[in-house]
Structure 1
Amino acid sequence: MDDKDTRVDPALLAGNRRPAAGYRATHFLWEVKEGVATVTLNRPERKNPLTFDSYAELRDLFRQLKYADDVKAVVVQGAGGNFCSGGDVHEIIGPLVKLKAPELLMFTRMTGDLVNAMRQCPQPIVAAVDGVCAGAGAIVAMASDLRIGTARSKTAFLFNRVGLAGCDMGACAMLPRIIGQGRAGELLYTGRALGGEEGERWGFFNRLAAPEALAHEAQTLARQLVEGPSFANGITKTMLHQEWAMTIEQAIEAEAQAQALCMLAQDFNRAYEAFVAKQKPRFEGN
């Protein structure tokens, strides 16, 4: 089969593949290096709170990542020894108390759309959590696929502390699946902080790292994901989320279809050929 038969139509590529390395972030730091994209929440003097603008930009960026052919994994971190203190009290909470129901619903739907965008982008997301991780910051960590914390990290779903329900941005659906119903209820009803070591025992964190090594550990994990079969990893992420709403029988059939699709990818052939040659496979994501 010649190249003419195997090449992808340029018009199809133009509509479905857009490199993300050239993106210029406005409300946080953004870097793409060797397949790993890094989002750094960068307001360290306020412990990296979110604003209306940063919520919207993060939502739109994660939506765009489904088209990014140069990003295979994402790291989300905070600057200055903290992850994220949640919604900015002065720039979000203050204005919210003056809004009417339609505008409030507009806001809560926007914040929920950030979680949807994180779940729907095909790249695995690694949250590197140090220090304060509160409110919406805790949600961003929760919505990531993998979490590395530190012993000094404090994760608090503190909506209860400001007179709101714990059911924010998908917390009542996702948090119990990560740490269990009883433990999730305790955090959502009380708003207390979950320490790093306790968070690792409960399964919220995959593992802990020393604060000075956290960024390196997160990047190392992300690079391991980049070296894997990125197309298949995207399928795994999709199925992990979609199967929440399936019966076991439906999930088995969905996984049969998904796995058959992955068997059509060249990475499956590369893995076999590498095994035969007693070499480590070099995956290319196709």
Structure 2
Amino acid sequence: MTFQTIRVEGRGPVEIVTLDRPAALNALSEQLVGELGDYVCALKHRRDVRVVILRGEGRSFCAGLDIKENRTETNETRFQRSWRVQTQLGDVLKAMRLAPQPFIALGHGAACGGGFSLMLASDVRFGAPDLRMNAAYIKIGLGGADIGSSYFLPRLVGASLAAELLLTGRFIHADRALRLGLLSDVVEPEKLLDTGLALADEMVANSPYGLSLTKQALNMNIDAPSIESAFAIEDRQQVMLSETFDHREAMTAFVEKRPPVYQGR
């Protein structure tokens, strides 16, 4: 695929996706959302990509919706256009969660509104010291619950902090986000990509199906209705994986004291 507002760079089984509208602080134009959606939705068919790193070019990760964008004239009513724009980014975030590949977000500068939601929808988040995130929607006369924020935030940081951030639109900065578990670590800007790549390398050292099914179990069990349901998902996955070639290879490699050579089967 050819893109104009995002860059995709391959590092073996890891792909680095860079939001590439630095002059606009990577604000979410319709084109950027469309291109990001095309990329993410295609991931479920791509066995060559096992981990995705998401980052922003320039001074910020993503400043949110591009409210200055000149809208192209269409035959849509105002409601139709509003509904399409509203749901389009949500579809991207849902596709991120359903993709078999883990997403590692590298945040710096502003991650506001939809940019905040992109951080929240990722599986792991690292931040630079200057990272500041907020659910900016309530600051422009809308509700604070938007683009998955009222789903992701309570599950990541609890109901009290989620309410504080969504009801005020106030910023949460890197140091507090780290203390509260919203970030895995805070590292200097020049080390962000290396930090993400190092974690991605640890992930891809594991079997392909083991990695993707672990992400699936995490996503499903955060909403599991009971401990029985959570254990049932884990039990089924483990029995399935125990029948794979990669499991037998890992066991043999352990006995032979060598790295396993996984084949994704």
TM-score with structure 2 setting the length: 0.93
Deviations 1:6-50 (A, max 9, x none): xxxxxxxxxxxxxxxxx3223211112211111101111221111
Judge conservation of contact 1:41–1:79 (CA < 8 Å) in 2: yes
- Structure 1's consecutive aligned runs of 4 or more residues displaced over 6 angstroms after TM superposition are 92-95
Pairing partner for 1:254 from 224, 227, 233: 233
- Report the 3-state secondary structure (helix = DSSP H, G, I; strand = E; otherwise coil) of the residue aligned with 1:88: coil
Distance in structure 2 (CA, Å) of the matches to 1:92 and 1:229: 46
Distance in structure 2 (CA, Å) of the matches to 1:153 and 1:88: 19
Judge conservation of contact 1:271–1:281 (CA < 8 Å) in 2: yes
- Report the 3-state secondary structure (helix = DSSP H, G, I; strand = E; otherwise coil) of the residue aligned with 2:68: helix
Judge conservation of contact 1:63–1:120 (CA < 8 Å) in 2: no
Judge conservation of contact 1:86–1:136 (CA < 8 Å) in 2: yes
- Report the 3-state secondary structure (helix = DSSP H, G, I; strand = E; otherwise coil) of the residue aligned with 1:76: strand
Deviations 1:216-273 (A, max 9, x none): 1112211221222221111111121122143211121122111111112222112111
2:105 counterpart residue number: 127
Judge conservation of contact 1:111–1:169 (CA < 8 Å) in 2: yes
Report the CA distance between 1:93 and its aligned residue: 9.2
For this pair of structures, how many residues does the alignment match? 262
Report the CA distance between 1:94 and its aligned residue: 11
1:202 counterpart residue number: 180
* 1:1-286 equivalence runs, <5 A: 23-91=1-69, 100-243=78-221, 244-286=223-265
Report the CA distance between 1:180 and its aligned residue: 1.0
Which range moves more in the overlay, 133-142 or 240-249?
240-249
TM-aligned CA distance change 1:108 to 1:25, over 3 Å:
same
Amino acid at match of 2:264: G
Distance in structure 2 (CA, Å) of the matches to 1:276 and 1:69: 28
Judge conservation of contact 1:81–1:130 (CA < 8 Å) in 2: yes
Distance in structure 2 (CA, Å) of the matches to 1:100 and 1:268: 54
Judge conservation of contact 2:5–2:21 (CA < 8 Å) in 1: no
Runs (5+) with no aligned partner, structure 2: none
Distance in structure 2 (CA, Å) of the matches to 1:100 and 1:245: 38
Deviations 1:110-144 (A, max 9, x none): 12101111001100000011111111000001000
Share of identical aligned residues, percent? Answer: 31
Judge conservation of contact 2:93–2:118 (CA < 8 Å) in 1: yes
Runs (5+) with no aligned partner, structure 1: 1-22
